[in-house]
Amino acid sequence: MGFLDKLTQQASGVASTVAEKTQEVAKVGQLQVQLRNLNGEERDALVEFGREAFNLHQANALAERSGELAGPAAKIVDIRAQIAAKEQEIAAVKSDGSAGDAAPASDTVESSAEEVADAPAAETPPPPPGGAPTV
């Protein structure tokens, strides 16, 4: 009977380890989707910033009206801070070896799964509106 008890104990240990690793992989995947979305937001903010700067440059008003770029620049700084925090969170989950020690993510797996469908399209920049030259 001791052999069966030992075998049962080992099997439950393996099942527990598999469950923990599965949770870790799911957590890292979810965080990577969020990071990918933040990178897309950063790209969009940089495009908007460049568009605004170019428009001011074309109007020969870049030096006088550079304050108009403060809002978009602050948005870029904020998104970059979020990206750095997300990268640290991913590193913490990977180094801890378990998802239970990391801070909880704000999105659910279901909402992140929907966001994945948009990720491939975000890799190519959108065409400029009205045929405007690109920066």
Nearest to 92 by CA among 20, 24, 19, 18: 24
d(CA 42, CA 112): 18
Tell me the pLDDT of the chain (135 aa) as tens digits. Answer: 688 888 888 888 888 889 888 999 999 999 999 999 999 999 999 999 999 999 998 998 888 888 888 999 999 999 999 999 999 999 999 888 754 444 444 443 333 333 433 434 444 445 555 554 554
Q: Which two tokens stand for residue 73?
A: 């620049």
Shortest CA distance to 104 belongs to which of 116, 93, 96? 93
Are residues 118 and 73 in contact, defined by beta-carbon separation less than 8 angstroms? no
d(CA 53, CA 47) in angstroms, rounded, equals 10
CA pair distance 9, 64, nearest whole angstrom: 74
pTM of the model: 0.59
- Give the pLDDT confidence score for residue 117 in this predicted structure: 38
